[in-house]
Chains A and B, each alone.
Chain A
Amino acid sequence: MIDSFFNLEIMAQVLPSILDGMGITAVLSILVILTGTVLGLLLATIRALQKRPVDLIIILFVDAFRAIPPLVILIVTFFALPYVGIQLSGLVATWLCLSLVLAAFAEEIFWAGILSVHKGQWEAARSTGFTFLQTLRFVVLPQAMRLALPPLTNRAIAIGKSTALASVVAVPEILNQASSAQAQYANASPLTLAALAYLAIFIPLVVLSRWVESRFAWKH
């Protein structure tokens, strides 16, 4: 048992490749979280303008990307798009797909937050000469954020973790490195090491998200 899961000798040999994988996982996760959140915010802003046809397109996109499993989206992007002449590297495909999935969830979360802000806030701000975008930025979003942040950070971390899916499209991130090593050594210890590597990346992120949430709370 100890030999299969905690073989220190194998772990030591695998460590460099797992560390390489950690670098890729960390960068990919951060990229996905940044692009996905920004894109989600952008979509929610456009939706707040309440222009009918555009709204419907956004809703369609959001519902589709929340309903289809991320793995399916990734496989379609990576293995099916080449048939129509679009060939993306595994890394770019994962970045794109997971960003879109996070954007879909983030849009809904931001949108719910924006809707929770009372209409009187819009009117008060507009009455002092603020434009639509200024009102959104200085008055509505700071209030919407308070409600949106906890579900948003949860979702961002969940989707950041699913960069493990990239192992399927041959991106040498943590899981991919660990699986190859596991096959090579016929031993599960590299997977144990992978689990530890994920903890090392995502525990700080969880702590960070808690800090961000507390910063956006305000006195009543």
Chain B
Amino acid sequence: MPHSILEVNGLRKSFGSTEVLKGVDLTVASQELVFVIGPSGSGKSTLLRCCNRLEDTSGGSIRFNGQDITEPGVDVNQLRRQIGMVFQSFNLYPHLPALGNITLALRKSVGQSADEAEKRARAALDRVGLSDKADAYPGELSGGQQQRVAIARALALEPKILLMDEPTSALDPELVGSVLEVIRELKASGVTMIVVSHEMHFAREAADRVVFIDHGEIVEEGPPSQIFGAPEHERTRAFLQRILQS
């Protein structure tokens, strides 16, 4: 088994008096595609957001490349350049064209020259199949195209791991496929990913591992064939039944 990139141990997170994560353990190996599924409010998104410190944690540890990133002295900006994040609502910068969305961090955060950044950004756009949309503003792109630009923006920083928070949930059904296709290609090229998603059929065929979270704890995890074919826990069964029926 390849070495692990991310190791979450006993992760706890509370918002006020509500405990959203109640001791989550999760290890992600290099080049692995892990799908996190679970009902809304189960803590899936919070888990992802803790992994790049968008949320502060309340307990436990998250080791990224061996370093505990929940420690107070961690340089979060340096850390976040290595952990890509893709959001449900894309969050592209509306005042910049696709290319500018990608080059902004390369130039102002990484410190690349304009030429260097543009080359890297065009390569990233090419990877998500949008090399012809470099000059288009987000408002001129479809939801699926916007999400692919957002993926390119994250990819251009060459992250060690890519976190995707319901990347297809805000898309019209006919646009979902284009984004899943990109995820499939990233997987083929060896990008490590954690994807929070309700795309069960895609998870079943593409994921290396599926993790089912409910009420802030991991109920069950395993290869998709096991989770979807022979779930051990009643809660997993009930959830899958509800999702797959609808």
Contacts and interface: CB of A to CB of B under 8 A. Distances in A.
Interface of A: 118, 120-121, 123-131, 134, 138-139, 142-143, 146, 218-220
B112 interface: no
Contact of A121 (B84, B93, B140): B93
A218 B85 contact: no
B54 A128 contact: no
B139 A219 contact: yes
Most buried by A among B79, B94, B150, B154: B94
Interface residues of B, number: 29
Contacts of A124: 85, 87, 91-93, 150, 153
Contacts of A143: 93-95
B57 interface: no
Main SS of the interface on chain A?
A: helix
Interface stretch (B12-20, B103-111, B184-192, B198-206): B103-111
B78 interface: yes
B105 A128 contact: yes
A129 B157 contact: yes
B108 A134 contact: yes
Interface in B66-83: 77-81, 83
Contacts of B105: 125, 128-130
Contact of A146 (B84, B95, B110, B150): B95
Given A127-B52, A127-B54, A134 B109 contact: yes
26 contacts: A120-B87, A120-B89, A120-B91, A123-B85, A123-B87, A123-B91, A124-B85, A124-B87, A124-B153, A126-B54, A126-B80, A127-B83, A127-B154, A128-B81, A128-B154, A129-B109, A130-B108, A130-B109, A131-B77, A139-B93, A139-B104, A143-B95, A146-B95, A219-B137, A219-B140, A220-B137
Interface in B26-73: 52, 54
B137 to A, nearest CB: 5
Contacts of A131: 77
Nearest to B138: A220
Nearest to B93: A139
B104 A138 contact: yes
Given A124-B87, A128-B153, A129-B157, 13 more contacts: A123-B87, A124-B153, A127-B154, A128-B105, A129-B79, A134-B109, A138-B104, A138-B108, A146-B95, A218-B94, A219-B137, A219-B140, A220-B139
A131 B108 CA distance: 10
Contacts of A146: 95
Contacts of A123: 54, 85, 87, 91
Interface in B107-123: 108-110
Nearest to A123: B54
B81 to A, nearest CB: 4
Contacts of A142: 95
- Sorted from nearest, which 8 A-B pairs have the closest CB atoms? A128-B105, A124-B91, A220-B139, A129-B81, A127-B85, A120-B91, A129-B109, A129-B77
A220 B140 CA distance: 6
Nearest to A219: B137
A134 B77 CA distance: 11
A101 B168 CA distance: 48
Most buried by A among B79, B92, B109, B157: B109
